[in-house]
Amino acid sequence: MNKIIDDKNFLHGETEKSAFYGYTCIGGRPEDQDCLAYDNVHGRQIFAVCDGMGGHAGGCVASTTAAKALTDSLKRQAEIVSTKEAIISAVNEANTAVYKKSQEEPSLRGMGTTLTLLVVDNQAAYVTHIGDSRIYQLRKGRKKFRTFDHSQVFEQVAKGKMTEEEARVHPRANILSKAIGILPDVDFFVTKLDYKEKDRFVLCCDGVWNTQPEADVLNMFSANDDLETTIMSTRSLVEKIGKENGGQHDNHTMIVVDMKADSKYRKSLFTKFANLFRSNV
C-alpha cells in the first residue's frame, strides 16, 4: 500500500479494498482551516474531512484537533470493538477534545469544526457526519447516498419550505445547526452502507459542493474514472469559479475513494427506507 501526503497537500494511495486520492487547498483565504485524514488499521480504512471555524487561529486548531483525536481513537480500538462502536466512541472523543481545548484557551473560545467520516471494512462502509461537509456514494455516476447538511437552511429544506438549490445560494447557507466542539456533547448517527466494485465515495467540504448546483457537482465527481484526473480537474474548476467571483473563496478539500470489490453486507428493504429517512432529517 502506498500512502503519500506531499507539500502540495495531496493524499493518495491504494489497498486491496480501494484506491483513493484527496487534496486540500487554501482557496482565497489567508489560512487553510480544512483538514483531511487517512489511516488503515487492522483492515479498516479511515477517511475524514474536517472544515474548521472560529476566527484567525481557532478553525485550524479545531479541524486538526478533531482529526487527530478521531484517528487516534479509531486506531486504539481497532481490535477491541465493532466498527460502529469504534466510530461512536471516536466521534465523541473528537468532540470532547475540541470542546476542552476551546474552554482551556480563551483565544479559541467558540471554535468548532465539521466532521465527515468514512470507515470501510470487508463487511460494509460506515459513514457519519456533523455539520455541512458531505459524503456522497456514487454508483455508475448516479447518486446512491448522500448525507444531509446540519445547517439552518437545510432544516428549512427538510420542512419543505426551501429547495436545496435555494438553500445553497441563501445568504445564511453557512450557518450550521450542529458542529464538533461547540457543546460538551453532540448528537449523531452512524449509517451502514453496502458497496460494490467501482462505487465511488466522495468526502468534501462546502468549499467544493457549494460552488455549483448539485447536478453539476455530481458530473464533476463522476466525469472521469481516473482518480488523479478527477481530483485535479475538480481543484482547478473550484479555483476558477472562486477567482471569477472575487477571489476570496473558501478553503476546499475533498477525498475520492473508488472501491475495488463488493462488500459482504447487503441492505434489507427496511434498512434502505430507514437510511432514506435519516438522510432527510
Structural domains in the chain plus CATH codes: 2-278 (3.60.40.10)
Per-residue pLDDT tens for 209-240?
A: 999 999 999 999 999 999 999 999 999 999 99
pTM, two decimal places:
0.92
- What pLDDT was estimated at residue 262? 97
- Characterize the bridge pairing of strands 142-146 and 115-120: unpaired
Distances in whole angstroms, Cα of residue 115 to Cα of each of 48, 54, 131, 242: 7, 15, 7, 23
- Quickly state the pLDDT bin for 271 (edges 50, 70, 90): low
Please list, in sequence order, all residues whose beta carbon lies within 8 angstroms of the beta carbon of residue 53, skipping any fewer than 6 positions away: 33, 59, 62, 111, 112, 113, 176, 179
State yes or no: pLDDT of 278 exceeds 80. no
pLDDT greater at residue 202 or residue 55: 202
Residue type, 52: G
Q: Assign 181 a pLDDT band (cuts: 50, 70, 90).
A: very high
Indicate whether 279 pLDDT > 70: no
Calculate the dihedral angle through the C-alpha atoms of 206, 192, 138, 149, rounding to the nearest 10 degrees: -20
Q: Is the pLDDT of residue 115 over 60?
A: yes
268 vs 123, higher pLDDT: 123
Name beta bridge partners: 195.
none
Helix (H, G, I), strand (E, B) or coil at 135: strand
Model confidence over 14-55: pLDDT tens digits? 999 999 999 999 999 999 999 999 999 988 999 999 999 987
Going by pLDDT thresholds of 50, 70 and 90, the confidence category of residue 79 is: confident
Sequence-distant (6+) residues with CB within 8 A of 240 are: none
d(CA 279, CA 281): 6
Each residue's pLDDT tens digit, 83-106: 999 999 999 999 999 999 999 999
Q: If pLDDT is split at 50, 70 and 90, which confidence band does 77 have?
A: confident
Checking if the pLDDT of 267 tops 90, the result is no
pLDDT at residue 127 greater than cutoff 80: yes
What is the CB neighbour count within 10 angstroms for residue 272?
A: 12
